[in-house]
Structure formats: C-alpha cells, structure tokens
C-alpha cells in the first residue's frame, strides 16, 4: 500500500472482532449477543508480501501481508481464511502484531505454522506458534521488533523450519541477527556464532537478514544478509554452530529472494535496493553452484525493456531445472513480468517479450482490478512468486493490490498464452477510512459507499460481491464521503486532488463528476448532502478557507454563512432544508439547505462529530470527545449518555419499521472494551464481539446497514471493511 502511513495516522491503535462466531455469555456484567463475521467483498486492496506453499500437504498455502495479518488457504475452504484475527483489541498494544514479516510452514508436520509479527520497527513484536494450522496460537516474546510494513518488507522468507529436524526453526531479524528455536518455537536463543547482522539500511530502517534457506539434500543452512560489500550469503553445515561466507557477489546489490534446487544450485534474485518503497533501478539473477562455489549470471534477456530489480524466485518441486522469477520495480504499462526457465536459467520465456504478450488476465470476479483499462495489469510490487509444489501450472504471487494465480504456466513452453486469474477470495487488506450505508433497493441503489487508502473507494451495489470497475472511485486519497439519504444514488466524496477536491455521483457511483474547485487554498475536507441531494456542502481542509454550499451539484459554490473554519457538517435525514454543524465548541443549524447557519446555543467539545437519524427530523447525535450526546430539537439542547465511553458511533436499520434506529459504537461500557450496539437509544448496551476474536488495527468508523437489521460495518487499518450479522 502506498498510503500506509496516512492510513495509520487516520486509524486508532485499536483492534476488534473477527471469526465466525462470538460469545453469547455475559462478560463482567455486560450483556452480549452472538454475531457472525466476515468482510465486505472487495478482493485484496493491499500489499501481499509473501506466499508460502506447504511442500508436503497438497492444497495448503499461506499468505502474509504488511499490515493486514496472515491468511491460510486449505483444500475444501475455497478461499483464504484470516488466521490472525485474535490480535488487537480496544486499548490493546497488540495492534502492531497485525503486520506479518515472516511466515514458516512445517514440511514434516503440516499442522505447524510460525510467524514473526510486528508492523513497525521500534514497536513491540512477537513470534506466534500454532500446531493446528493457525486456528490457535501461542505468543512468544523475545524482545525483538519486526518491520512488516517498513521498507524492504518484500524480502524473505526470514523464517524457516529445518526440514530434517523440524523442531528447529530459524529466524532472521532486521537488527538483532539470527535466532533459533529447538523446541517448536517454545523457546528462542540468539545464534551467537552467526557473524553479521547486515549493514545496509533504507529509509532509516535496517534490512538485516533477508532470508533463510535449507539445501534439500544436505540440510546445510544458507542465510542471506544485506551487506554493502556484496558478501551477503553465509552457510553452515553443522546446524548453525559455525558459518562460512560464500564469495562476495554484486557489490551494491542485495539478494532479496533465494531458492535451492535438489540438483545443487542456489538461485538468487538481486536488486540495488530491497524495495518496494526505495525503487529498484537495476538487478540481476544468479545461480550459485554449491559444488563449484561459483556464480553464474542468468539474468533473463527476453527483450521486454526490463529495468529495475528482480523479486521472487521459485523452483519447481517436480523439476529442479524449472524456475520462475519476477521483476520488481518494473513499472511497465502491462505490469511486472514473470520469467520462466526450464533449463536452469540458460534460456527464458516470459509473460511478455519482444514478440508480444503471452498472457491473459482474468479478473471477472473482481472487475475493479481493470482500473479503467481493457485488461488488468499483471500487478506491481511483485516481491514473491511461488510455484505450487503439486501443480507446475499454478504460480501464485502477491501484488500491491491483490493475489493472482496462473492457470497454465507451462503454456509458455509451447508458445501458448498463460491465463492469470484473480485469487484473493476472502483475503481483504484495505486501510479503510469511512463508510456510509443508506436505505437501499436491491440492485438499484448502493448498499454501501466506502473510502480508503490506495484505492480511493467504492460504491458497493452488493456488499457480498466484489465491485466492478464502474463503481470504483480510483481518484485521489479521500477524506470524507456522504450520500443523500432520501436519494442514495446521489453521493459525494472529497480527495486530495487539488483540481477537483469534490466529486459527485448522480447514478449510484457508476460515474463520478468533478465539481468546480475554488481558489481557497484548501482541498479535500469534509462533505455533506442534504436529504434529497438538492444541496451539497463542502468544508475544505484549511484553516483559511470558508465552507461552501452548492445547489447545482458542485458547478457553482456560495459561502455557507455563519460558520467558522473546518466545521463538522451533518444533514438532517428527513428534511432537506435542515443542516447541522459543529465548530469551535458550538453547534449550528441551517434552515435553508446550508446557505445560512446560526448558533443553537449548545456547547460541545472542540473535537465533535455530528450524526443524524433515519426517519427522525431534528434528531442530532454528537460524539463530543468520547462522550455521546443526543438532541431531539435540532441541536438546541443535548442529553448526555453517561454509560458509554466511545471512540466512534453510527446508526443502522431497526428491527421493526418505525422503531428507533440501532446505535452501534466502538468503546467501553462498564469498563469492558469492544464493539457494542444499543436498540434503546443508548440506555442499555450489548457487546457484539468477544475477547478471543479481534480484527487487528481498528479505524474509528462504524455504521449499521441502512436496510438490514442487525448488520454492522466497521473500518480497519489493514483488514478491510468488517461486516457482522446477528447469528441465527
């Protein structure tokens, strides 16, 4: 993800519930209700930094992400299942563990899996160990931090199980050298005999140890380290007691990925940076003869105009002379290239070369990946590529946006076209900022509008179906989104695009029209639409810009009189003439669609967000700091809820027509942290998550579905849009 830092800044260090069930017992006196959990279907959205097939159990593989946890694909599931949703929690520091820097699957006991977790260096990291495919974990703290979302995060794998002594696991770190466990991860020790830690850094972050590999024949250990002098590879033939340096090679380049064939070759992909943030300008591919102790340059030459480095390297388990390598940092219009050799790198064929294209992209199940093109790109930031050990035709690789798998990679051998399919079913990694769910008519109005990092956002016609390209916003980094409650096909969002900071749709997100920009010196900001969409209000993200209102869909703007700078604005969901705002610790109201505002006399905190309610004219709710307040007279007077300490709140459809909408909130009630709902306007609360299931790093944004009773959505910084329904 390119917007990780911004997403992290906009998110809270919280974490919430995942999984397929929730507890139904009372916890500490707080009533709870059982929920089923999943995700709004998008299909990836973030950087999948590593793919790992288990070499002995067919149909088992894992994916790790830079800030969205790890996933398992197992035969029979037909989709990726997140295996890290126990991490995090409101007011918990474990949100940082949702970034997975390295993952190792056990080739002897496939039920065992290990991870080193830590999104950012300098934050607490941990090692997680499981003996049941990641369904349950034991956490081991060794005082080492990891950088799953730092520069160089596509290198690896930094963790590996010894295939001949599977109780032993090796772990490479960025700044603390090589570590080892001899008891299935229960206890760890630093390998003091390992001679170096690495001396190359990017963006102030040490790259350290890049990978650990085992010779499948001798069980000798090979470790790659980011060393400036080119002496980057060390080997041990006595289970790590002593180490020998391989000859130096390619000074100023770093072997970010490696693989060892059963016929005695170490294959290495090099780049002049460890990517992906620090762009690779050049690279090489080498093979090293374990017998002759010599390097051979086997860099693919296919006439594709390659520049940049090389990312993943994978050896076919069925043929040790067959390897696949990916480009890295090759911003060709078609995307990164994959290169395949069946003779140990002497000759290569590629997805595209000087003769043309030899692939077809199949993104039917996630149409937005076309990104306005006739055909989707093959991907970018492809730092890892893996051949299925049981199927040479299947090559799976992660990208900066999703996961792809080839259907027939061997077609390159005979000059045919390779089909590359979308393969991120169930894997959702988005840094989500906010959502709005209006009342919706099936198939004719969106169920949900969302905004997020990297992708801008979507109009979701069906939250269970990945969006098509037409309903993909894909323009700028957004800040706010709103829709006209009585006419939900009208919606608007703001972004950092200075030429057109406000965009509006009149057809449910099929097309987005740019609004006229004003020379205010501000961009992005907040946006609100009156109940029928007749007026559009925009408050630029500037302390020098006025707030504006338009009655012609953003073609002409007028100053919204009576407001200070950067107010929070909310439109009444019943009366199009009524608009509310909070600014400078005061509440304001407009009776003319937002052209003129006057203070109501109510006092709130400087940081206040306003909410209005379906079917209730004049009902205004406020999240004033962490206090929930509500008004039934248009914001003139407010009552305070004293039984809840909130981080975010929102409303959803009631159980029966005419009842008051259900209130959802993140925070704590009776000193119990979690996700809650109230069906009686905040008098009583039910917790809808439990302590065993979280969702990583939570963004403070939550809302109920506008039409489906009990359905709730909340935003995460890395785990997409979480969706929950009451369990039957």
Q: Return the active site residues.
A: 66, 454
The sheet carrying 698-704 orders its strands as 35-39, 721-726, 712-716, 698-704
If residue 5 lies in a helix (H) or strand (E), which one and from where to where? helix 4-10
C-alpha distances in Å from residue 656, one per residue of 302, 671, 708: 65, 31, 11
CB contact at 8 A, 600 and 610: no
- How are beta strands 491-495 and 502-505 bridged, if at all? antiparallel
C-alpha distances in Å from residue 674, one per residue of 14, 438, 646, 692: 9, 24, 10, 11
C-alpha distances in Å from residue 43, one per residue of 39, 202, 205, 388: 10, 30, 30, 21
The terminus-to-terminus CA distance of the chain in angstroms comes to 37
Contacts 24+ apart (CB under 8 A), 456-461: 456/493, 456/495, 457/481, 457/493, 458/42, 458/368, 458/509, 459/491, 459/505, 459/508, 459/509, 459/510, 460/40, 461/508
Say whether 657 sits in a helix, a strand or coil.
Answer: coil
Say whether 480 sits in a helix, a strand or coil.
Answer: strand
C-alpha distances in Å from residue 202, one per residue of 177, 212, 327, 452: 17, 21, 20, 27
Say whether 511 sits in a helix, a strand or coil.
Answer: coil
- How are beta strands 686-687 and 31-32 bridged, if at all? parallel
Q: Cα-atom radius of gyration of the chain, to the nearest Å?
A: 27
Whole-angstrom Cα distance, residue 560 to residue 182?
68
How far from chain centre, in Å, is Cα 622?
A: 30
Length of the chain: 728
The pair of three-digit structure tokens given for residue 552, joined into one six-digit string: 């012609």
DSSP code of 212?
E
CB contact at 8 A, 116 and 181: no
CB contact at 8 A, 210 and 225: yes
CB contact at 8 A, 243 and 121: no
* Nearest alpha-carbon partner for 400 in 349, 457, 331: 331
The pair of three-digit structure tokens given for residue 697, joined into one six-digit string: 């790093």
């Amino acid at each position: 993800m390119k917007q990780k830092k911004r997403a992290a800044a906009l998110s809270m260090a919280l974490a919430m519930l995942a999984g397929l069930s929730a507890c139904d017992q009372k916890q500490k006196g707080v009533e709870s209700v059982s929920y089923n959990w999943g995700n709004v279907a998008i299909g990836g959205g973030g950087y999948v930094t590593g793919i790992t097939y288990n070499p002995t159990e067919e149909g088992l593989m894992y994916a790790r992400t830079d800030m969205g946890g790890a996933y398992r694909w197992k035969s029979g599931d037909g989709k990726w299942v997140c295996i890290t949703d126990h991490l995090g929690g409101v007011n918990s520091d474990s949100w940082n563990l949702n970034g997975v820097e390295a993952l190792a699957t056990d080739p002897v006991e496939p039920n065992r899996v290990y991870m080193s977790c830590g999104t950012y260096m300098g934050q607490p990291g941990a090692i997680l160990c499981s003996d049941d495919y990641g369904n349950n974990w034991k956490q081991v703290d060794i005082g080492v931090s990891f950088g799953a979302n730092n520069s160089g995060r596509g290198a690896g794998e930094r963790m590996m199980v010894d295939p001949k002594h599977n109780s032993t696991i090796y772990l490479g770190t960025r700044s603390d050298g090589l570590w080892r466990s001899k008891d299935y991860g229960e206890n760890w020790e630093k390998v003091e005999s390992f001679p170096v830690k690495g001396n190359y850094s990017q963006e102030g972050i040490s790259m350290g140890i890049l990978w650990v590999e085992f010779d499948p024949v001798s069980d000798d250990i090979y470790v790659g380290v980011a060393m400036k002098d080119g002496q980057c590879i060390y080997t041990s033939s006595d289970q790590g007691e002593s180490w020998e340096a391989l000859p130096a090679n390619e000074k100023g380049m770093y072997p970010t990925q490696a693989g060892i064939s059963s016929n005695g070759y170490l294959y290495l992909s090099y780049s002049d940076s460890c990517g992906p943030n620090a762009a690779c300008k050049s690279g090489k591919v080498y093979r090293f003869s374990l017998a002759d102790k010599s390097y051979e340059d086997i860099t693919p030459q296919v006439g594709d105009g390659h520049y940049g480095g090389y990312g993943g390297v994978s050896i076919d388990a069925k043929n040790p002379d067959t390897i696949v390598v990916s480009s890295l940092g090759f911003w060709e219009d078609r995307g990164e290239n994959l290169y395949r050799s069946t003779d140990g790198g002497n000759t290569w064929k590629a997805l595209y070369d000087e003769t043309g294209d030899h692939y077809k992209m199949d993104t039917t199940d996630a149409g937005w990946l076309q990104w306005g093109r006739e055909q989707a790109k093959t991907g970018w930031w492809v730092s890892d590529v893996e051949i299925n050990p049981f199927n040479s035709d299947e090559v799976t690789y992660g990208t900066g946006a999703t996961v792809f798998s080839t259907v027939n990679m061997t077609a390159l051998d005979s000059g045919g076209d390779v089909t590359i399919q979308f393969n991120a079913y169930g894997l959702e990694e988005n840094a989500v900022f906010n959502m709005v769910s209006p009342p919706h008519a099936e198939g004719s109005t969106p169920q949900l509008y969302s905004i997020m990092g990297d992708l801008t956002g979507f109009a979701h016609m069906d939250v269970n179906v990945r969006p098509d390209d037409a309903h993909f916003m894909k323009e700028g980094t957004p800040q706010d989104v709103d829709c006209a409650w009585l006419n939900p096909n009208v919606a608007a969002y703001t972004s950092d695009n200075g030429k057109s900071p406000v965009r509006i749709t009149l057809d449910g997100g099929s097309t987005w029209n740019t609004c006229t920009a004003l020379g205010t010196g501000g961009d992005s900001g907040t946006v609100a639409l009156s109940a029928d969409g007749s007026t559009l209000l925009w408050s630029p993200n500037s302390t020098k810009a006025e707030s504006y209102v338009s009655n012609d869909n953003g073609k002409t703007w007028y100053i919204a009189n009576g407001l200070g700078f950067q107010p929070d604005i909310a439109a009444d969901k019943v009366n199009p003439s009524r608009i509310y705002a909070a600014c400078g610790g005061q509440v304001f109201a407009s009776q003319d669609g937002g052209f003129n505002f006057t203070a109501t006399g109510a006092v709130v905190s400087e940081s206040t967000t306003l909410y209005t309610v379906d079917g209730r004219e004049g009902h205004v709710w406020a999240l004033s700091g962490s206090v929930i307040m509500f008004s039934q007279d248009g914001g003139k007077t407010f009552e305070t809820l004293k039984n809840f300490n909130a981080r975010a709140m929102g409303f959803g459809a009631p159980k029966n027509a005419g009842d008051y909408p259900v209130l959802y909130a993140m925070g704590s009630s009776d000193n119990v942290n979690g996700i809650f709902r109230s069906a009686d306007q905040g008098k009583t609360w039910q917790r809808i998550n439990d302590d065993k299931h979280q969702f990583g790093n939570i963004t403070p944004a939550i809302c109920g579905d506008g039409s489906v009773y009990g359905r709730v959505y909340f935003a995460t910084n890395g785990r997409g849009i979480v969706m929950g329904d009451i369990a039957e």
